[in-house]
Amino acid sequence: MVSEHSDEPPDGETAEGETAEGETPDGETTDLALKILIAGGFGVGKTTLVGAVSDIRPLRTEELLTRAGQFVDDTDGVDHKATTTVAMDFGRITIRSGLSLYLFGTPGQDRFWFLWDELSQGALGAVVLADTRRLEGCFPAVDYFERRRIPFLVAVNCFAGARTYDADDVSRALDLDHGTPVVLCDARDRESGKEVLIRLVEYAGRVHTARLLDSVS
């Protein structure tokens, strides 16, 4: 029994206006939502990855490729591609209870890059998808995130018929900073894509923690 003059609330209760850790005033648990970018070159599988892992029906802003764009869009190696993202793809995946990722797929063509600065605001990190048949297509994304100090990993989308390279070979070819992860994946497969996202969250968390410690040391 609690003393008449005690300021402590009874066991299992909280003082007026306070809530238990991880709960809102109405008793619901709070979720942590993290923003992740999915970037890379034209036709590398960004829309496919977002669609494969998303728990919700993904938002897509795709338009048909036209003859007018054939002089500005490099379709070598992706001759079958009929559509392109002109703004962004959006999806959401729950990694575990209380942790959700909001996925923003960026457009791959240079003429839509003005959108990247807006999309990257508040992002925890980024996945840069790569196709080893057209590895140069992901150079601009790698440079973009390195210059802005946004943590990223490179996910090699293993297309059928493409030569297989190990992570070290890809890292050297892209001249990545030491410690930047390189993983192999299948953008069509949900579990493969989910593993890529988990690796990114873990890596970005370590990077941001290290920077925070450096800033206060």
Write the pLDDT tens digit of every residue in 19-50: 344 444 454 555 899 999 999 988 899 999 99
Please tell me the predicted confidence (pLDDT) of residue 115: 82
Q: What is the mean pLDDT of residues 87-114?
A: 85
Please tell me the predicted confidence (pLDDT) of residue 139: 95
pLDDT tens digit string along 155-175? 999 998 888 899 999 999 999
Please tell me the predicted confidence (pLDDT) of residue 16: 44
Q: Per-residue pLDDT for 10 more than 70? A: no
By residue count, the chain amounts to 217
Please tell me the predicted confidence (pLDDT) of residue 88: 81
- Give CA–CA dist 195/190, Å, rounded: 9
Mean model confidence pLDDT for the chain: 81
- Give CA–CA dist 127/119, Å, rounded: 13
DSSP 162: P
- Give CA–CA dist 119/179, Å, rounded: 25
Q: What is the mean pLDDT of residues 134-149?
A: 95
Q: Which of 157, 154, 152 is nearest to 187 (CA)?
A: 157
- Give CA–CA dist 188/182, Å, rounded: 18
Q: What is the mean pLDDT of residues 5-30?
A: 46
- Give CA–CA dist 64/83, Å, rounded: 4
Q: Which helix (H) or strand (E) holds 46?
A: helix 46-53
Higher pLDDT, 26 or 209: 209
pLDDT range class, residue 71, cuts 50, 70, 90 = very low
